Structure 1
């Protein structure tokens, strides 16, 4: 019996801290505040995330606001100009924002300390599209998290050819004071 308790205790100790809990609802916006990096983007209209595309933006930070809104600070590709977008909360993990059309997006999942995934629908006269984004606290994430994101893309009808690994392009890191 003592040996079983010892083994159980060792198992619990060894697994403690292994990976953070994945959250898919009841999000705490206060836990996603701070600096982030754009790691991967996927779109049903690839041209929106290619060089010069309106949605080829690189996140720097997410800041919760007092009225439950979120403020996103981004850099544009190419010119590396900084801008912010305020999004208003409409439900748990669901927000709306005006940027190159009307956008409704949701937090898909996060572990707060490593990554967050977003699903966005953009509506405008020229046509609608879906955008999926993977942000991370560090400039890159593990292969496991990338595979999880890519599986989510496929599940939502976005194929491999419409997923771009943003860690291989100029993400304006020098403009934000990094190498």
Structure 2
């Protein structure tokens, strides 16, 4: 009987580990070493709507986001696949990208990535998003600014994009 219960527990636990998990997010800050890439109409200026993790330990992460270009909103969905033995993901969008979730808490997600565009220009980006209903507060700002500095990006390159997300409205 113990064996049957243990087998049932393992089966339920394994099924739960492989479930699809979706979390809603709202972009609030972005920073990059090449600031033109994240300014208005920049090719890396996106606004997260949700992130879907699938598989064991989030083996793939689908990033859903809006971008505005010349006043037009366009929705994108990019799938990142976890690099074996790492917490990093590979994805293709506006070139090659390696990304990671460099900070996660209940209400704050900081997404760090390095983009290499078709011309070979490498851009480091640190992007912050909060859960809907959560206000980006002083504690969030401290965490975010520290991560921006750790990635070698000047604080002057931090953009407040909270009110710029017109596509979601």
Regarding TM over 0.5, the answer is yes
Q: Quick one: structure 1 residues 29 and 131, their matched pair in 2 at CA, closer, same or farther if it must change by over 3 Å?
A: farther
Gaps of 5+ in 1: 1-27, 175-179
- Please name the residue that 2:55 is paired with: 66
Q: Quick one: structure 1 residues 29 and 170, their matched pair in 2 at CA, closer, same or farther if it must change by over 3 Å?
A: farther
**Displacement, 1:45?**
0.3
User: TM-score when scaled to structure 2?
Assistant: 0.78
Runs of 4 or more, structure 1, over 6 Å off, are 28-32
Q: Quick one: structure 1 residues 31 and 114, their matched pair in 2 at CA, closer, same or farther if it must change by over 3 Å?
A: farther
Q: Indicate the SS of the match to 2:72.
A: coil
Matches for 1:1-179 after TM superposition, within 5 Å:
33-66=22-55, 68-77=59-68, 78-90=71-83, 91-111=85-105, 113-126=106-119, 127-138=121-132, 140-174=135-169
User: TM-score when scaled to structure 1?
Assistant: 0.74
Q: Which has the higher strand share?
A: 2
Q: Quick one: structure 1 residues 30 and 120, their matched pair in 2 at CA, closer, same or farther if it must change by over 3 Å?
A: farther
**Separation of aligned partners in 2, 1:150 and 1:74:** 23
Gaps of 5+ in 2: 1-16
The C-alpha deviation readout for 1:75-119, integer Å capped at 9, x for no partner, is: 1123121120011011443111000010001111111x2011121
Report the number of matched residues: 146
